[in-house]
Amino acid sequence: MEQHLVDQAVTKLSATLKRGVLQVDVEQASIAPQSLFGFAERRNPKRAFLFVSRVLGKHIPVKPSVMEFTYQALAEKIPADLPGPVLVVGMAETAVGLGAGVHRAYARSRPDSLYIVSTRHPVGDAIFARFEEEHSHASAHLVHEPVDAELASMMREARSLVLVDDEASTGKTFVNLHRALVDAGLGRIERVVTCVLTDWSAGAVSAGIGQHADQVSLLSGAYQFIEDPLAPLPDMPQTGTVAVGSWPIDPSNDWGRLGTRAVADTFGLDIQANPGERIAVIGTGEFVWKPFLLAERLERAGAEVYFSSTTRSPIALGHAIEHALSFADNYGLGIVNFLYNVAPGQFDRVLICSETDAQAMPVELVQALDAQVIVDGR
């Protein structure tokens, strides 16, 4: 992807999937559409299609410098006149890293901002809000109450919300999140901004929340899915578990579930890179921001680094998904996880990053990629 913004005329794209045809009209774009996303098919009877980001670092490995470029580009689109404090919320699991990156870029000029993520991993006793992502393979989300008193006060006093996700299709999830936060006690909100890489919602968020809502993105347009009524529905793995697994998370190693102003680059400090070495840094589930900081550091040291992450998202092979590995989750929840487009032998070195004990990492994944496991806080 060329690291500069471009004006893009209306572009029509389409993909023929097993359950129908997805047609897209790109109306505005800061980055060429083909560099920003591709298509895939969900293994999900509720929604057949998926827009797969080429810059997110979740389903397709991406250079950290490219990811940072998108963080800065999105942050620059957030209105400068938002009343503070500003609460930035990243959506689990796909956009927790994107949200952290946007917040890092935004916070350079807005120190009155706080970052928190929605999650499917309870890490404390105080749950602030719950909401639903209706079309998702894992629909339930939690938002924690910050443990730190200053952060908790800042969150409750927030006058602006910046809600970050990788894409908006109908806008319903953003509307649900906004309503849940307000109902839980964020009664001073004056402005709402949704911040996504690709926005297909045709203004639905502003319509659902009100005139005080703005929508910013790197690309916007409209889609139509023409479903084949005779196509069989896929079997979807049960990946919607919201619980503490047999490998619990240490809250002291938090990077955003409990709220943060900034996250220090302290993960994997003993890892060295050789110039030109081709390295894959793999986050696990929602644990992506600290691994990204490691990947960024190794890239600055001269290695050819690509970042990606394991995920709960069940996606069929084809289109933008060229390779898939499946394995047990590393939280001990008894659900299946996936890693896409990272094949054995593709990289000189693979670093799998975890917030759970190294013994929790599935052996089949480590052996398939001949990977080194790095554990946070241990």
pLDDT in tens, 85-143: 999 999 999 999 999 999 999 999 999 999 999 999 999 778 999 987 654 544 688 99
Task: Name the token pair of 282.
Answer: 């793999």
pLDDT given at position 102: 98
CA gap 252, 258 in Å, rounded: 10
Task: Name the token pair of 328.
Answer: 């047990």
Average pLDDT, stretch 238-261? 90
pLDDT given at position 133: 64
pLDDT given at position 28: 93
Tell me the pLDDT band of 317, cut-offs 50, 70 and 90: very high
Q: 79: cis peptide before it, omega within 30°?
A: no
Instruction: With beta carbons less than 8 A apart as the criterion, state whether 338 and 57 touch.
Output: no
Count of H-run helices and E-run strands, the chain: 8, 17
Residue 231 is which amino acid? A
DSSP H helical segments within 11-112, as ranges?
33-36, 64-77, 96-107
Q: Which domains are seen in the chain, by residue range? A: 264-375 (3.40.50)
Residue 355: phi and psi, rounded to 5, are -100, 0
pLDDT above 70 (res 186): yes
The string of pLDDT tens digits covering residues 138-182 is 468 899 999 999 999 999 999 999 999 999 988 889 999 999 999
Count of residues making up the chain: 378
Q: Could you tell me which residue, 46 or 19, shows the higher pLDDT?
A: 19
CA gap 158, 160 in Å, rounded: 6
